[in-house]
Structure 1
Amino acid sequence: MTARVRAPELRGRAWLNTGGRELTLADLRGKIVLLDFWTFCCINCLHVLDELRPLEEKYGDALVVIGVHSPKFEHERDPAALAAAVERYGVHHPVVDDVDMHLWQQYAAKAWPTLAVIDPTGYLVASMAGEGHAEGLSRLLDELIAKHGADGTLHRGDGPYVPPTPADTLLRFPGKAIELPGGNLLVSDSARHSLAELTPDGETLVRRIGSGERGDPFNEPQGLLLLPGEVAAAAGYDVLVTDTVHHQLRGVRLATGEVTLVAGSGRPWRSAVDGPQDALAADLSSPWDLAWFDDRVVIAMAGIHQLWWFDPRAGQVGVYAGTTVESLRDGTLPDVWMAQPSGLSATADRLWIADSETSALRWIAGDAMHTAAGQGLFDFGHVDGPAADALFQHPLGVAALPDGSVLVADTYNGAVRRFDPATGEVSTVDAGLAEPSDILVTASGDVFVVESAAHRLTRLAPGVVKTVTGERHHTERPPAAIAPGALVLDVVFTPAPGQKLDTQFGPSTRLEISAAPPELLLAGAGVTTQLTRTLEVNPAVEKGVLQVVAQAATCDVDVEFPACHLTRQDWGVPVVVTPGGPARLPLILRGLDQS
């Protein structure tokens, strides 16, 4: 990049992973600095954390990664919750708590995740949104190291990361739990990268499946499903596990503890494929939970805001519901919108879904999806009462009860909630819990909560119901001012060093635009192959959200065996319609916007 833009100074409420030290750009002079704007609810941000690990290892003496945590949900403003998330997801670099979104605004971020690269002399040289930038970042880092090494402005050596003291608990950030034949409980011990079999009281370890080391064989496992007996016999394993960071499903034979790979190539999903696919060849994206419904496995594919199906007998997978647009829209399957579905529970005729990023409880019956409670991406809270008015905050788990009602692990409210379809009411069963992530109802009727941030299973006392008036929240993420009438939406994309746009299979770019409410746009919604489009904004609508999905295909140049890459990002951009406002809205997919 040729622009000379001085990087804004770093500041925040507090720093983590620095031993208490506050860092400034002056402290980092001579290093390449990569700022990762993230929020710990965001699955795409978690993908980027995993993409950055190899870069941190390869370039560790020249590169300093700084996580900038700019929160979406109210719970994410809690410094203790942030510290827990940094440990939970294995963040091994400094993190600054950008609680007031100051750095978010200073660096003109408009999406989670956003990356910004600062050269060793303190200048901003690149910005990019979304995931899939690892290869481009590697090439850019090679260029910067060569240039600043030659100039004498690169200073190699250790960075400022100071690891925290490790904790010793039976479980560490457990995710999901199921009951096994015989009454023992199986828990995905996510931060320990293993499965823990516990006694029926949930307190004593019977055995551990997996080494406990990241990737051997599990990498942050989450969802668990005990297959029906005849299906297990045909498949050759008893329990199905979502190996979330590996983007795979694994089968476990309970008698021996043997673990086998049953679905997922290990590559993260990047583009749609029509029809059923061979399960082992398919690209999955952060599968988070599982349920047996309609004579097959349903997968909560959190990473791309969809549900998929998996047939263990035929070894095939396919899309069940969702278009990959991140939002809330009901209707006929598969053309619905979800946002990071993370919890599933099935009855004979209904599939319940905890749709975390819309803070919604949703359900499928027949060929249609419905919303029981929840209002969208930016509205959340802890409010009981009629379902139309009730609010959750990033729920991750759900459990259907024999009486037809549903329990919800309302994770960021620290509560267990109950929805009764017969009355249409939402109530609070228990509160004061530490990030409950799943609910298990045993064959005997006991109810266990996976209290993830307390690193334990907690048995709920029967019959407890609390009334919570709570508060309503709307995300305080700063909206973008836009002009009514003609608005140029411009997705800025520059191929990474050593790459070019790839047109060998058709257009190299794709842009999909919609709005909430739909009346916000009088014209311009839909799909085109150009990254710049003129929209017509309705002057009668004061505010809303522009939903933008952009992708660009690139290919390596000047190499014998070129690799192809797909860069993709979803934006939900809050906007306010202001007379005299800007008539151009730039969104940076990759580059440095010089407008």
Structure 2
Amino acid sequence: MTETIRRTSRVRASELLGRNWLNTGGKQLSLEQLRGKIIILDFWTFCCINCLHVLDELRPLEDQYSDVLVTVGVHSPKFEHEADPDALAAAVERYEIEHPVLDDPELITWQAYSARAWPTLVVVDPEGYIAASLSGEGHVAGLSSLLDELIAEHEDKGTLHRGDGPYVAPEPVSRTLRFPAKAIPLNRTLNGSAEGFLVADTGHHRVVQLGPDLETVVQAWGSGGKGHTDGPAETAQFNEPQGISLLPEKIADQVGYDIVVADTVNHRLRGINASTGEVSTLAGNGVQRLLDAERTRTTQVVGSLGTRPLKISLSSPWDVLWSDNLGSVVVAMAGTHQLFTFDPVTSELAVYAGTGLEGLVDGEAEEAWFAQTSGLTEDSLGDLWIADSETSALRVLRTSVSSAAPAVETLIGEGLYDFGFRDGEPAQARMQHPLGVTALPDGSVLVADTYNGAIRRYKAEHTAPDGTTVPAEVSTVARGLKEPSDVLLDADGNTLLVVETNAHQLIRIAVPDEYLTVDEGATQTQRPLTPVKAGEFGLSVSFQAPTGQKLDYRWGDPTQLQVSSTPADLITSGAGATEGLYRTLQLNADITEGVLHITARAAACDGDPGEDIPMHAACHLYQQDWGIPVVLDDVGDQELNLDLRGLK
């Protein structure tokens, strides 16, 4: 008999309350109107790469069970900008979401369902009772089994209603560009043209060359249809390409392609031969990358992944950059919070920096934590600058000092839940989910501060012409933009080019002699605080291997907890990484509020209970990150239980 994880008690689902509904033709929905359907509530926020993964994971289920299943996206914003209804409407269009979306800016429905992490999935049966709750990604197979079970059960009871759901498609809009993401200037002739810019026309699933007027499409690669197809420019397919990089001419002649593309939703790197128009796949097998199951007890180390890149899984590559210093393409691997390198000549793919854990931790490359790395640039010294979007941070990976190991340093940013709009001293400056970055000839760095709708400038401490020392400073170059996702210097060196994603255009901005100074304060993500008691505190994570899988004990305990806090001294003992899914912490009574950062992992392999795991069995790593805001209270909880569950 097939088993699934379901609630043993019948808990009535709470009403769906929020500000407004999208994708319903203007109608307001209620649970009563959806009675008779199986409902998947997808608690998401559009900044979150894991949430974007789940949107794509759910699409096949929505097609397969279209007459009985209604997916409802409950948008529960993390950042202030995400609470803007226009920004949410743009995100729903950009990610081609084809189900109703509830706008829940006050987290009313989020709290009613006790959601604690993005993404969270809640399954509601046709009678309005909660059937299952799941955190994180990778639950499609299990959801399919659960849906089959619920369909059979409620058809027998006569409580299942087949037919169309409440989704109403919006009217299509014709545009030259649709949600462009990244751009680079042409610095040599491509297919007879040396003018203009290469642009990731993300919403049209293609790469284009724009003329100097920023409107004329000189040439394009990609049919405009979403998919993965190599071949001629007219028939090739991409899926939400983001970053693009032009190889040095000598390298391009050697490898047979000129342009490298971060084909984000396909989890691949693609190559374009500008002369022939041919599109090829360079790296990635199309399967989203997770950390290796056998390494669940340790963090992913940097190093080579081999020279067969088409056999290697990637995870949402967001930007690519040719590094003269490294002699390789650097890849911002947003889905695993790491930097990779790809050598076009040898085809070697490697992890260059980042443990794979999400957060803001500086140090040597193999020790650093990133959070959805989204933008890259290289300065004249060879150092790599990174827009680390989920920590609202500007980071630099120092690679130019030959005597020292590459090391990560944070210039702006505090952590996953700290953001704002503030200029001045870098330690006090704040941004909000930046996606793009570019180094200028004077040594300063510009940042596309996406959710603040601004272009920011970081200038390190330097010596003025009169010999005085000028302290490091963050200033604002421009604002009032609609989600700028990239910024670069125009060919004349006197103007900036900005990719204004939500305005579907590239625009020029004059570089001002004086920079505006802005201080609109610093903000933390405001979510309901969990009251906890100081002193001994128990933390446990529940996990049950999906049907047809078993925990993999071949290398020891296959589970791990990584625990830290903001501020760091909130936890006086018990922080760090250990095996097992239970931990006893000591919480500091002198701290009033903070955030517990928890990462749980479990490795399971295909196999039957009581039998040895076959040598070549497929293995799976389940992982979820939580940030739990807490307030210390004498009558607070003394333990916290979270769920890391897989269904199959």
2:225 matched to which residue of 1? 213
Give the TM-score normalised by structure 2: 0.88
- Greater shift after overlay, 266-275 or 411-420? 266-275
Aligned-partner Cα distance in 1 for 2:84–2:459: 31
Q: Which amino acid aligns with 2:318?
A: W
Report how far residue 306 of structure 1 moved: 1.1
2:262 matched to which residue of 1? 242
Aligned-partner Cα distance in 2 for 1:379–1:548: 17
1:365 matched to which residue of 2? 398
1:405 matched to which residue of 2? 444
Could you give the per-residue CA deviations for residues 164-195 of structure 1, whole angstroms, max 9, x where no partner exists?
A: 11111110000000122212211101111111
| Contact 2:550-2:608 within 8 A present in 1 as well | no
Could you give the per-residue CA deviations for residues 200-235 of structure 1, whole angstroms, max 9, x where no partner exists?
A: 221111122101111142110000011112222222
| Contact 1:3-1:125 within 8 A present in 2 as well | no
2:427 matched to which residue of 1? 388
Alignment of 1:18-417 (within 5 A): 18-180=24-186, 181=188, 182-216=194-228, 217-272=237-292, 275-277=303-305, 278-293=308-323, 294-347=326-379, 348-366=381-399, 367-417=406-456
Q: Which amino acid aligns with 2:224?
A: G
Aligned-partner Cα distance in 1 for 2:582–2:153: 33
Could you give the per-residue CA deviations for residues 322-374 of structure 1, whole angstroms, max 9, x where no partner exists?
A: 11221111112120111111000002321111111111111111311111111
| Gap runs ≥5 in structure 1 | none
Report how far residue 266 of structure 1 moved: 0.9
| Contact 1:140-1:496 within 8 A present in 2 as well | no
Report how far residue 506 of structure 1 moved: 4.5
Aligned-partner Cα distance in 2 for 1:106–1:189: 39
Residue 460 (structure 1) aligned to one of 500, 506, 509: 509
Q: Does 1:432 align with 2:495?
A: no
| Contact 2:291-2:356 within 8 A present in 1 as well | no
Could you give the per-residue CA deviations for residues 372-396 of structure 1, whole angstroms, max 9, x where no partner exists?
A: 1112111111111111111111110
Aligned-partner Cα distance in 2 for 1:572–1:316: 35
Report how far residue 541 of structure 1 moved: 2.1
Which secondary structure does the structure 1 equivalent of 2:81 belong to?
helix
Q: Which amino acid aligns with 2:539?
A: L
Report how far residue 525 of structure 1 moved: 1.8
Which secondary structure does the structure 2 equivalent of 1:550 belong to?
strand
Which secondary structure does the structure 2 equivalent of 1:471 belong to?
strand
Aligned-partner Cα distance in 1 for 2:519–2:571: 35
Alignment of 1:529-548 (within 5 A): 529-548=579-598
Which secondary structure does the structure 2 equivalent of 1:6 belong to?
coil
- Greater shift after overlay, 370-379 or 156-165? 370-379
Instruction: Report the RMSD for the aligned CA atoms in angstroms.
Output: 1.9
Aligned-partner Cα distance in 2 for 1:562–1:158: 40
Which secondary structure does the structure 2 equivalent of 1:337 belong to?
coil
Aligned-partner Cα distance in 2 for 1:5–1:500: 29
Aligned-partner Cα distance in 1 for 2:547–2:132: 11
1:442 matched to which residue of 2? 490
Q: Which amino acid aligns with 1:576?
A: V
Aligned-partner Cα distance in 2 for 1:85–1:128: 23
Aligned-partner Cα distance in 1 for 2:156–2:254: 62
Aligned-partner Cα distance in 1 for 2:276–2:244: 17
Q: Which amino acid aligns with 2:530?
A: A
Which secondary structure does the structure 2 equivalent of 1:191 belong to?
helix
Structure possessing the higher radius of gyration over alpha carbons: 2
Aligned-partner Cα distance in 2 for 1:202–1:512: 47
Q: Which amino acid aligns with 2:153?
A: K
Q: Which amino acid aligns with 2:387?
A: A
| Contact 1:127-1:591 within 8 A present in 2 as well | no
Change (3 A) 1:58 1:564: farther
Aligned-partner Cα distance in 2 for 1:351–1:184: 25
| Contact 1:126-1:591 within 8 A present in 2 as well | no
| Gap runs ≥5 in structure 2 | 1-5, 189-193, 229-236, 293-299, 400-405, 463-470
Could you give the per-residue CA deviations for residues 437-469 of structure 1, whole angstroms, max 9, x where no partner exists?
A: 001223432421000000000011232632322
Q: Which amino acid aligns with 1:232?
A: A
| Contact 2:142-2:646 within 8 A present in 1 as well | no
Aligned-partner Cα distance in 1 for 2:566–2:523: 18
Which secondary structure does the structure 1 equivalent of 2:492 belong to?
coil
Q: Does 1:588 align with 2:588?
A: no
- Greater shift after overlay, 487-496 or 295-304? 487-496
Q: Which amino acid aligns with 1:408?
A: V
1:566 matched to which residue of 2? 621
Aligned-partner Cα distance in 2 for 1:484–1:190: 48
Q: Does 1:469 align with 2:519?
A: yes
2:296 matched to which residue of 1? none
Report how far residue 502 of structure 1 moved: 3.9
Which secondary structure does the structure 2 equivalent of 1:85 belong to?
helix
Aligned-partner Cα distance in 2 for 1:53–1:558: 30
Report how far residue 564 of structure 1 moved: 3.9
Which secondary structure does the structure 2 equivalent of 1:251 belong to?
strand
Give the TM-score normalised by structure 1: 0.96
Q: Which amino acid aligns with 1:265?
A: N
Could you give the per-residue CA deviations for residues 389-431 of structure 1, whole angstroms, max 9, x where no partner exists?
A: 1111111000100111111101001111111113411111111
Aligned-partner Cα distance in 2 for 1:534–1:142: 39
Q: Which amino acid aligns with 2:352?
A: Y
Which secondary structure does the structure 1 equivalent of 2:537 belong to?
strand
Change (3 A) 1:362 1:40: same
1:420 matched to which residue of 2? 459
Which secondary structure does the structure 2 equivalent of 1:388 belong to?
coil
Aligned-partner Cα distance in 2 for 1:109–1:258: 46
| Contact 1:500-1:557 within 8 A present in 2 as well | yes
How many equivalent pairs are there? 592
Aligned-partner Cα distance in 2 for 1:151–1:495: 30
Residue 486 (structure 1) aligned to one of 525, 529, 536: 536
Which secondary structure does the structure 2 equivalent of 1:165 belong to?
coil
Could you give the per-residue CA deviations for residues 138-181 of structure 1, whole angstroms, max 9, x where no partner exists?
A: 11111111211222211111111001111111100000001222
Aligned-partner Cα distance in 2 for 1:469–1:379: 15
Aligned-partner Cα distance in 2 for 1:138–1:529: 31
Aligned-partner Cα distance in 2 for 1:481–1:263: 47
| Contact 1:487-1:537 within 8 A present in 2 as well | yes
Which secondary structure does the structure 2 equivalent of 1:459 belong to?
strand
Report how far residue 79 of structure 1 moved: 0.2
Q: Which amino acid aligns with 2:482?
A: A
Report how far residue 528 of structure 1 moved: 2.7
Which secondary structure does the structure 2 equivalent of 1:590 belong to?
coil
Q: Which amino acid aligns with 1:389?
A: Q
Which secondary structure does the structure 1 equivalent of 2:520 belong to?
coil
| Contact 1:132-1:568 within 8 A present in 2 as well | no
Q: Which amino acid aligns with 2:422?
A: V
| Contact 1:361-1:371 within 8 A present in 2 as well | yes
Same amino acid, percent of matched pairs: 56
Aligned-partner Cα distance in 1 for 2:535–2:119: 29
Aligned-partner Cα distance in 2 for 1:543–1:335: 27
Q: Which amino acid aligns with 1:438?
A: D
Report how far residue 243 of structure 1 moved: 0.4
Which secondary structure does the structure 2 equivalent of 1:5 belong to?
coil
Aligned-partner Cα distance in 1 for 2:66–2:556: 38
